[in-house]
Amino acid sequence: MASRRDLANAIRALSMDAVQQANSGHPGAPMGMADIAEVLWNDYLSHNPADPAWANRDRFVLSNGHGSMLLYSLLHLSGYDLPIEEIKNFRQLHSKTPGHPEYGYAPGVETTTGPLGQGISNAVGMALAEKVLAAQFNRPGHEVVDHNTYTFLGDGCLMEGISHEVCSLAGTLKLGKLVAFYDDNGISIDGEVEGWFSDDTPARFESYGWQVIPNVDGHDSDAIKAAIEAARAETGKPTLICCKTIIGFGSPNKQGKEDCHGAALGVDEVALTREQLGWEHGPFEIPADHYAGWSGIEKGAAAQSAWNDQLAAYRAAHPELAAEFERRANGDLPADFSAQADAYIQECQDKMEKVASRKASQNCLNAYGPLLPELLGGSADLAGSNLTIWSGSKDITGDNADGNYIYYGVREFGMSAMMNGIALHGGFINYGATFLMFMEYARNAVRMAALMKQQSIFVYTHDSIGLGEDGPTHQPVEQLSALRSTPNLHTWRPCDTVESAVSWKSAIERRDGPAALVFSRQGLAPMSRTADQVAAISRGGYILKDCDAPQAILIATGSEVELAMQASEHLAGKGIQTRVVSMPCAEIFSAQDADYRDAVLPPSVRARVAVEALHADYWYKFVGLDGRVVGMTSFGESAPGDVLMKEFGFTLDNVVANVMEAIG
């Protein structure tokens, strides 16, 4: 029977072989953390390789994602559908083993990691989701939600500022089922970290309210096991296990050095490492007794079977709760949601209220929230400005997780990455809010949501220079262009209550990616529509005002739709016929079939003017180089919103003048 060290050496061998074959990658972390991974996965991790999506599995997140071969080795060895051929194809085109773990490629990969700090942030979100879901569904004698979240992280993750944001909040929220293993090897890409990372990490995490287990020998299985036992025994605090390891363990000439961090060991050093480890097997060769020692198939099947029995007992004792739990675990919406949402959208059209779209957004939450028990919201210390609290909101605290609203604090990046972790965990539709300007702090987490095809709903208010006196530091200009240029992200900027309601419905019903909902501070005039026009909003762009033979087309979003409508009316008085197109979500419009796009924006009508109080450049894809854009080409200023709109050309006269120029 293979020893613990032998089993860990299987990880080391696969990792160095795969990196060597690819001549690219990071062998150091997998070789250094192999002993920790062996104890965790073989003795504690509750998972089922035959069903990677089992709802009550433990979550494992490799936050230091450059060490991806550690995860791929674990998945392969424990019995996931990741054959040795995929290990051999490490970092190759269309393999299941890309350079960093990518969600959706290999079974068992819980999240995409690579941008340092976001893995631990996702893990905090997962642990929070588990705690909230347990509080909502567990009943005495029936703990159907009961699993742990484990994450590996390195010096790089802890240097990233986002780690402070999320780990501080994790302590406050008392996420006792979160266990983080800190790979304290003293090495990063540039060498020994003592020259730029001298933090007292244990003291830092103790100040957050974590249990800290310091100075664990990361190559001593007994010490690792004792640390995990202590972590699992502490249910009121998250735990940081500080593991002293040697990067590239086993490499006689490169272990403990930056040389093995991000490059193949080299053919000669691989051979020497085999000798050093006593690994007498060829490249990618794993003996049968090692596979037997690693296999998690039987244990996983038994664990899931026992849980299925628990679920059956829960179903018998609490049938309604069980049905709701299974609906949410499956990601299904209530059967009547779409119809009820459509009824609310029509109600908004009938009422014709003039309100800020941020208020319209809150009204949507009050309408949709009672229909969606899975709705989980929050804001980065701007709840009163973002208007993200609705009548049914209930605070989540460390002592009482039976709620649906998270006060994230001033942590825009941390909030957004935690939201991705919540989405990946399942059981919720979650939204989080800040000012549009401060999307900048969270940009990479928004990108990760789109990359992973996760349903995170990012709510952004105070959407233009129209917010006024706070000045250019708070006035977004280029941010909407950045969001719109992100693949697989739907960015909505609605013009009134009706478009706001459609944007929320679209984001809630979308299962394959995130949405950014962008709302105004200032009041927006309601628009009249036919039933067909209301239905067309969901197509991203539609004809709001038409004429017999348009000489020009005005395209607008959000607060500028009213201005475009006024300009159209003014031009009609001069005998000039114009069409007004509202385009609340350009990405969805661009995805429509060519016939629809051409019906809304006929190629024959070249005189086009886009009007939006944000960066102008985005709109040339719709107006052409011979069109005109009334937009921002500079930063804003500090003054009342109406003064700024006039100052920067968002006036009736300027829009009309641009149309006349476009017509020629």
Annotated catalytic residues are 412
**Which residues have CB under 8 Å from 354's CB, separation 6+?**
523, 524, 525, 526
C-beta separation of 664 from 605 below 8 A? no
Q: What are the tokens at 62?
A: 């490799």
Q: How many Å apart are CA 59 and CA 169, to the nearest integer?
A: 19
**Which residues have CB under 8 Å from 6's CB, separation 6+?**
290, 293
- Provide the CB-side half-sphere exposure for 336 (13 A, CA): 5
Q: How many Å apart are CA 639 and CA 346, to the nearest integer?
A: 37
C-beta separation of 215 from 154 below 8 A? no
Sign of CA dihedral 43, 47, 48, 52: negative
Instruction: Give the bridge partners for 152, in sequence order.
Output: 62, 181
Q: How many Å apart are CA 615 and CA 625, to the nearest integer?
A: 16
C-beta separation of 65 from 114 below 8 A? yes
Strand duo 355-356 + 523-524: pairing = antiparallel
Cα-to-chain-centroid distance, residue 32: 29
- Provide the CB-side half-sphere exposure for 213 (13 A, CA): 26
Q: What are the φ/ψ torsions at residue 33 (nearest 5 degrees)?
A: -100, 5
Instruction: Give the bridge partners for 244, in sequence order.
Output: 184, 217
Q: How many Å apart are CA 100 and CA 115, to the nearest integer?
A: 9
Neighbours of 404 (CB within 10 A): 22
Burial (CB count <10 Å: 0-12, 13-18, 19+), residue 229 = exposed
Neighbours of 23 (CB within 10 A): 10
C-beta separation of 46 from 303 below 8 A? yes
The closest of 515, 277, 345 to 416, measured between CA atoms, is 515
Strand duo 456-461 + 429-435: pairing = parallel
The closest of 170, 209, 157, 133 to 418, measured between CA atoms, is 170
Q: What are the tokens at 498?
A: 């009706």
Strands (E), 104-206: 149-154, 178-184, 187-188, 191-192
Q: What are the tokens at 608?
A: 């086009």
Instruction: Give the bridge partners for 491, in sequence order.
Output: 516
